[in-house]
Amino acid sequence: MHINKKRNYLLIFLIGIILNLHSTNIDSLDVPQGFEISIYADNLESPRQITETDKGFIIVGSKNGKNVNALFDSNKDGVAEKKILIAQGLQNPTGVVVHKGDLYFSEIDTVWLIRDIDQWLTSNNRDDLPKKEIYISGLPSETWHGYKYLGFGPDDNLYIPIGVPCNICLEPQTKDKRFAAIHKYKNGQLVTVASGVRNSVGFDWHPKNKKLYFSDNGRDWLGDNSPSCELNVVEKEGSFFGYPYKHAKNIIDPEFGNLISNIDDEFVDPIAELGPHVAPLGIAFYDKNEFPEKYKNSLFIALHGSWNKYNGKSGYKVIFVKLDSNGDFLSQEDFITGWLQNEKDWGRPVAPFIMSDGSMLISDDKYDAIYRVKYKS
């Protein structure tokens, strides 16, 4: 009996430590005045892209896990109490998107489809996983920059980025033009929307002008302060964004820059330089009414954070990028900071997602959580 009491006390003590660390980390996150941030779901496995069904289920992909799960906040208190397994045994199922009631999710070389996902999620019989079918197969199988972010455009086509399997190279995209590009899947074929894109892990469409905006991760090993990562906009389908010959607005690549004279395509510069090595991943336009007016029709970008800077880490925050009425860049500012403390990072933001209720979710694949940001009106 005495031993059991000691064990119980030890268990309570350890739980207390874990809860205290959890609270301390969240308390270190800073948001602008009037906003508050909280944990929507935790104990997830490297959560990445987020989407929402018509019935309010939040579906999340995973970087290192093998499952796609649905989360549900049944009592509307801002915390998901339910986690429901949708698909399992997958390879890096990072991308998820719901379109017209159907769920699409990605592996490295495949995109899957589950029809009418809400019907299964709300049924009384979920003993078997929902039937999935292949939507796209045969995508490049390289895992370096191979995660497939997903999104449906205003044209009802599925968009997919395919990064280069390297830091800096030319050969892969010379042999296979699917690399270093963003494509849309139209009539059973991939159509290139933007090329010369090193590794985009986030894109969204402007709510008004319907243009595609995307983040791109800059190359490594040109020093701590170069080149900058990018925010780009596609003004014309098929535009070329410079990789591997030129980076950011004016950095000529030391290995491939001498080949620029051989390139017939016009180079498109980014509309904003986000900083070197900050690793911009998911982006999301704010098109709801809960946040103040300044955020409307402008976007949030998750900066995942640097991994190889020698003199001071960068990123590890969510920024807000203000655009003018034409969708042109005006300014950028920090929106959420605090994941980096004294050069030690306890979390890494991945993908912002605007919920139907106007609040914002943000996944964190290091802290294994999803945060919820709301405005206290």
Lowest model confidence (mean pLDDT) among 30-39, 194-203, 302-311: 302-311
pLDDT of residue 17: 46
Give 6's pLDDT tier (boundaries 50, 70, 90). low
The answer to whether 93 touches 106, Cβ cutoff 8 Å, is: yes
Give 309's pLDDT tier (boundaries 50, 70, 90). confident
H runs (alpha helix) in 176-301: none
Average pLDDT over residues 247-266: 93
H runs (alpha helix) in the chain: 2-27, 117-121, 171-175
pLDDT of residue 124: 83
pLDDT of residue 199: 98
How far is C-alpha 231 from the chain's CA centre?
Answer: 14
Give 223's pLDDT tier (boundaries 50, 70, 90). confident
Place of tokens 């000529």: 252
In this predicted model, what pLDDT tens digit does every residue of 356-369 receive, in sequence order? 999 999 999 999 99
What percent of the chain clears pLDDT 90, i.e. is strictly above it? 88
In this predicted model, what pLDDT tens digit does every residue of 167-189 receive, in sequence order? 999 999 999 999 999 999 999 99
pLDDT of residue 1: 46
Helix/strand/coil for 112: strand
Instruction: Provide the strand spans (E) within 107-257.
Output: 111-114, 133-136, 151-152, 158-162, 181-186, 189-195, 203-205, 212-216, 228-234, 239-240, 246-247, 251-252
Give 19's pLDDT tier (boundaries 50, 70, 90). very low
31-375: which CATH architecture?
Answer: 6 Propeller (2.120)
pLDDT of residue 77: 95
Lowest model confidence (mean pLDDT) among 14-28, 67-81, 261-275: 14-28
pLDDT of residue 151: 98
- Nearest Cα to 90, choosing from 166, 148, 144? 148
Lowest model confidence (mean pLDDT) among 26-40, 143-157, 302-316: 302-316
Contacts of 197 (CB under 8 A, 6+ apart): 161, 163, 180, 181, 182, 214, 216, 232, 241, 243
| Sheet strand arrangement including 280-285 | 280-285, 299-303, 317-323, 329-336
Q: Which token pair is 241?
A: 């964004």
pLDDT of residue 241: 98
The answer to whether 243 touches 164, Cβ cutoff 8 Å, is: yes
pLDDT of residue 362: 98
The full set of domain ranges for the chain reads 31-375
Is 337's pLDDT higher than 60? yes
Average pLDDT over residues 76-95: 97
What predicted TM-score, i.e. pTM, was given to this entire model? 0.93
